[in-house]
């Protein structure tokens, strides 16, 4: 597995065991990790160098990790991933509302974690060719001609339907909250509680399902949507 070079990752409040595992994995990758064990140490590190991403370890259900996540989101321009042993919807929703870009539940594979980190950094830095035709199975979108084909059948989508589906497809396998989608595809001034995302997703599903079964775009209850590729 090949990783981008010189990508610096800040590990915050990890256990010694997790830090050790990252150190071992780091020898086989081109990422560099810096571990800090307190909020103060995290901000000290951020004063000394810039990072490409931050990993926060949620060890208990309290406001501390989420508060720190929220502060990092407001002050720094990098993606944030939370590692946690809590798999309930409420905790996950709270993490995304605090500004997390991804959330992974322990135990997890380091191989998967590194893939998530790479994907987050790529998306965050905009290293995606949004003009290239994108294909997933029998579904293809052409941004230049704004055309959509599903099982070799042309499907008419409105501009917003096309842009939303395209946004999902260039950000695959990551949960995207409704608030994030509103800010990215519509107008950030829109009220985040608007149901415009749900309505548009429903229309996309209806049009594609009219051609053939379409299950890639999945609802994550209480959180948002994920496009499975």
CATH pick for 7-124 out of 3.40.50.720, 3.40.50.150, 3.40.50.2300, 1.20.1260.10:
3.40.50.2300
2 pLDDT band (50/70/90 cuts)?
very low
**Contact predicate 229/218, CB 8 Å:** no
154 pLDDT band (50/70/90 cuts)?
very high
194 has a pLDDT exceeding 80: no
DSSP 119-161: HHHHHHTT-S-TTS-EEETTEEEETTTTEEEETTEE----HHH
**Contact predicate 200/66, CB 8 Å:** no
How confident is the model at residue 129, as a pLDDT? 56
How confident is the model at residue 144, as a pLDDT? 80
**Contact predicate 151/211, CB 8 Å:** yes
Span 121-133, average pLDDT: 67
Q: Which of 9-13, 62-66, 83-87, 186-190 has the lowest mean pLDDT?
A: 186-190
Residue 74 gets the label, from left (phi > 0), alpha (psi -120 to 50) or beta, of alpha
CATH number of 134-227: 1.10.10.10
How confident is the model at residue 210, as a pLDDT? 95
Paired with 153 in beta bridges are 150
118 has a pLDDT exceeding 90: no
**Contact predicate 154/146, CB 8 Å:** no
pLDDT in tens, 21-33: 777 766 666 778 8
180 or 102: whose pLDDT is higher? 102
Gyration radius of the chain's alpha carbons: 19
Measure the CA–CA gap between 25 and 38, rounded to whole angstroms: 23
126 has a pLDDT exceeding 90: no
211 closest CA partner among 137, 153, 135: 153
How confident is the model at residue 189, as a pLDDT? 56
The reply to whether the predicted model has a pTM over 0.75 is no
Measure the CA–CA gap between 143 and 145, rounded to whole angstroms: 6
116 pLDDT band (50/70/90 cuts)?
confident
Place of tokens 């010189």: 6
**Contact predicate 138/211, CB 8 Å:** no
203 has a pLDDT exceeding 90: yes
Angle of helix 110-124 versus helix 16-26 axis, rounded to 10: 70
**Contact predicate 123/130, CB 8 Å:** no
Measure the CA–CA gap between 91 and 60, rounded to whole angstroms: 10
On the question of a common fold for 7-124 and 134-227, the answer reads no
Domain ranges (residues) in the chain: 7-124, 134-227
> What is the average pLDDT score of the chain?
83
How confident is the model at residue 3, as a pLDDT? 37
18 has a pLDDT exceeding 80: no
How confident is the model at residue 200, as a pLDDT? 94
């Amino acid at each position: 597995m090949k990783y981008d070079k010189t990508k610096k990752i800040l590990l915050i409040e990890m256990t010694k065991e997790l830090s050790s595992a990252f150190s071992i994995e780091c020898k086989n990758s081109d990422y560099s990790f810096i571990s800090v064990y307190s909020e103060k140490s995290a901000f000290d590190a951020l004063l000394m160098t810039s990072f490409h991403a931050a990993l926060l370890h949620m060890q208990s259900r309290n406001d501390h990790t989420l508060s720190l996540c929220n502060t990092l989101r407001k002050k720094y321009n990098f993606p944030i991933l939370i590692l946690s042993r809590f798999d309930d919807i409420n905790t996950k929703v709270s993490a995304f509302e605090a500004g997390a870009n991804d959330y992974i539940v322990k135990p997890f594979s380091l191989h998967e974690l590194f893939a998530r980190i790479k994907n987050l950094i790529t998306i965050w830095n905009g290293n995606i060719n949004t003009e290239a035709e994108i294909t997933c199975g029998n579904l293809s979108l052409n941004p230049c001609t704004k055309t959509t084909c599903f099982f070799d059948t042309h499907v008419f989508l409105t501009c917003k339907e096309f842009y939303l589906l395209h946004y999902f497809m260039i950000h695959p396998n990551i949960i995207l909250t409704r608030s994030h989608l509103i800010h990215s595809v519509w107008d950030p001034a829109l009220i985040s509680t608007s149901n415009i995302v749900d309505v548009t997703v429903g229309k996309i599903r209806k049009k594609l399902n009219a051609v053939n079964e379409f299950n890639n775009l999945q609802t994550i209850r209480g959180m948002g949507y994920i496009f499975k590729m």
